């Protein structure tokens, strides 16, 4: 059993408490990981506000070093550096066999907060079981399933490598895996958080032009310019569709929605030209809906596609993203604000308020 520290959620919407925890040795198909750093993303905010798995340890954008492996694990060994993320892919359903693990039909039960027998791998100092699910990266030691880790180049900084497993993979993968735009294709990206900026960086890799960033935050729009946006639109100042069509009169070839609001998604779709392609990545709430005239889809022959985690295969996609970062084409290190685990509640608050783009939680184990 491994002693560690974690930010524990005791009640929905409550502040996290930083506590001593104890983590079991890995089962036959599990891996014990020493976590170096964890990102915070919008999904974490939804988990923390709506969780029914309590008390629990959350976080799903972690990276660290493998400490121990179960006897059936073949993918990694102690000492390997890994990125962790949400568990997707049972390996046996039709989507998995077709190379689309993010659309696994069994992903929901696999992402539940307990082991198959209902037990937990984590306990608090009093011995109370702590629910755990996804990567549990708000802890400096955690248990992960073999299919939830990806081995990476040891030269990649572990402190922030975890964001490749969700936010960066989602945005860049939407462009690189789902859209695959041709040279000089036009693209508009709504929302310039980590996901949107990752889409912009990937669009630059694909040599799109123009690359139009849309947001209401002027600071983030300035950041978008440094990440590859050739034009920016502040949608608080007027109709973004009109502004985009002043840049590309027929509408853009591609559009990315990272916002997921009913007031925004139709505008994203209407920003595209006839035969345009829109991917939907954002989700403000689980019951979010939007309305658009069918004519604008059918007669104009627009395509709309939902994308989960970049629609890639993590074992292939994440090492590719590492290579792009190391080549200077995916400068994700410019997005980061660092916090110690004891300041995680401040990190969550500042992130929710839009004061930071990508908070990174580090662990002071001295």
Give the position of tokens 């030269």.
Answer: 155
Domain with residue 342: its CATH number is: 3.90.180.10
Whole-angstrom Cα distance, residue 351 to residue 332? 17
pTM (predicted TM-score): 0.93
Looking at residue 148, its pLDDT comes to 87
- 326 in a domain, yes or no? no
- 155 shares a domain with 14: yes
pLDDT, tens digit, 9 for 90 and up, residues 179-202: 999 999 999 999 999 999 999 999
88 pLDDT band, cuts 50/70/90, is low
Q: Could you count the other beta carbons within 10 Å of the beta carbon of residue 252?
A: 26
Q: In 3D, which of 301, 302, 294, 237 has the Cα closest to residue 268?
A: 302
Verify that 141 and 37 share a domain, yes or no: yes
Are residue 178 and residue 158 in the same domain, yes or no?
Answer: no
Residue-range definition of the domain harbouring residue 283:
171-307
Continuous segment of H or E residues that includes residue 110: helix 107-110
Length of the chain: 366
Mean pLDDT (the chain, rounded): 91
In this structure, the answer to whether residues 226 and 151 fall within a common structural domain is no
DSSP state of 164: G
Burial 102-128 (b: 16+ CB within 10 A, else e): bbbebbeebeebeeeeeebbbbbeeee
In a domain, 314, yes or no: no
Instruction: Look at residue 102 in the predicted model and tell me its pLDDT.
Output: 80
Percent of the chain with pLDDT over 90: 72
For residues 80 and 140, give the distance between their C-alpha atoms in angstroms, rounded to a whole number: 16
Arithmetic mean of pLDDT, 34-62: 89
The verdict on 143 and 179 lying in the same domain is no
Both 11 and 159 in a single domain? yes
Can you give the pLDDT at residue 200? 98
Residue 107 confidence class, pLDDT cut points 50, 70, 90: low
Whether residue 144 sits in one domain with residue 43: yes
In a domain, 208, yes or no: yes
177-195: b (≥16 Cβ within 10 Å) or e: bbbebeeebbbbbbbbbbb
pLDDT band at 108 (very low <50, low <70, confident <90, very high): low
CB 232 within 8 A of CB 240: no
Q: What is the pLDDT of residue 296?
A: 83
Give me the pLDDT at residue 17, please: 97
Domain contains 318? no
Please say if the pLDDT value at position 14 is more than 70.
yes
Q: Which of 273-277, 282-286, 330-334 shows the lowest per-residue confidence on average (mean pLDDT)?
A: 282-286
DSSP secondary structure of 9-46: E-STTPPPEEEEEEEPPP-TTEEEEEEEEEE--HHHHH
Per residue in 122-152, pLDDT tens?
999 999 999 876 778 999 999 998 888 999 9
Burial class (CB in 10 A: 0-12, 13-18, 19+), 295: exposed
| pLDDT value for 238 | 95
pLDDT for res 177: 94
Q: Are strands 81-84 and 61-69 parallel, antiparallel or unpaired?
A: antiparallel
Same structural domain, 116 and 238: no
Cis peptide before 55 (omega within 30 of 0): yes
Range name among 271-275, 306-310, 344-348 with the lowest pLDDT average: 306-310
pLDDT at 113: 53
Same domain for 197 and 154: no
Residue 280 lies in a domain: yes
| Number of structural domains in the chain | 2
CA distance 352 to 50: 15
Mean pLDDT of 227-239: 97
pLDDT over 90 (residue 104): no
Is the pLDDT reported for residue 109 higher than 60?
A: no
Say if residue 3's pLDDT is above 90. yes
243 to each of 235, 238, 251, 313, 345, how far by Cα in Å?
A: 9, 8, 10, 36, 38
Residue 27 lies in a domain: yes
Distance in angstroms between the alpha carbons of the first and the last residue of the chain = 20
């Amino acid at each position: 059993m491994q002693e560690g520290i974690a930010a524990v959620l005791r009640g929905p919407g409550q502040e996290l408490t930083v506590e001593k925890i104890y983590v079991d040795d890995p089962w036959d198909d599990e891996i014990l990981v020493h976590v170096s750093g964890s990102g915070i993303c919008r999904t974490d905010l939804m988990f923390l506000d709506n969780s029914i798995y309590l008390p629990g340890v959350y976080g799903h954008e972690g990276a660290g070093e493998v400490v121990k492996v179960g006897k059936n694990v073949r993918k990694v060994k102690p000492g390997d550096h890994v990125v962790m993320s949400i568990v997707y892919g049972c390996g046996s359903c039709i989507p998995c066999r077709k190379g689309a693990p993010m659309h696994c039909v069994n992903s929901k039960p696999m992402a539940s907060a307990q082991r198959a027998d209902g037990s937990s791998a984590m306990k608090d100092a009093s011995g109370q079981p702590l629910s755990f699910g996804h990567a549990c990266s708000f802890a400096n030691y955690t248990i992960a399933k073999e299919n939830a880790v990806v081995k990476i180049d040891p030269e990649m900084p572990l402190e922030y490598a975890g964001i490749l497993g969700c936010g960066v993979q989602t945005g860049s993968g939407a462009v690189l895996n789902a859209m695959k735009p041709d040279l000089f294709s036009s693209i508009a990206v709504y929302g310039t958080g980590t996901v949107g900026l990752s889409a912009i960086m990937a669009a630059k890799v694909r040599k799109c032009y123009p690359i139009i960033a849309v947001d209401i935050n002027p600071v983030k729009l300035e950041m978008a310019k440094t990440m590859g946006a050739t034009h920016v639109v502040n949608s608080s100042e007027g109709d973004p569709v009109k502004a985009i069509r002043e840049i590309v009169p027929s509408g853009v070839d591609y559009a990315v929605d990272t916002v997921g609001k009913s007031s925004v998604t139709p505008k994203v779709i209407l920003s595209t030209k006839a035969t345009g392609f829109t991917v939907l990545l954002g989700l403000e709430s689980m019951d979010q809906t939007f309305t658009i005239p069918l004519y604008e889809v059918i007669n104009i022959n627009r395509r709309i596609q939902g994308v989960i985690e970049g629609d890639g295969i993590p074992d292939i996609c994440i090492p590719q993203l590492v290579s792009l970062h190391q080549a200077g084409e995916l400068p994700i290190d410019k997005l980061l604000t660092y916090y110690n685990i004891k300041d995680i509640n401040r990190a969550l608050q500042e992130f929710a308020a839009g004061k930071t783009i990508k908070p990174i939680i580090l662990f002071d184990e001295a």
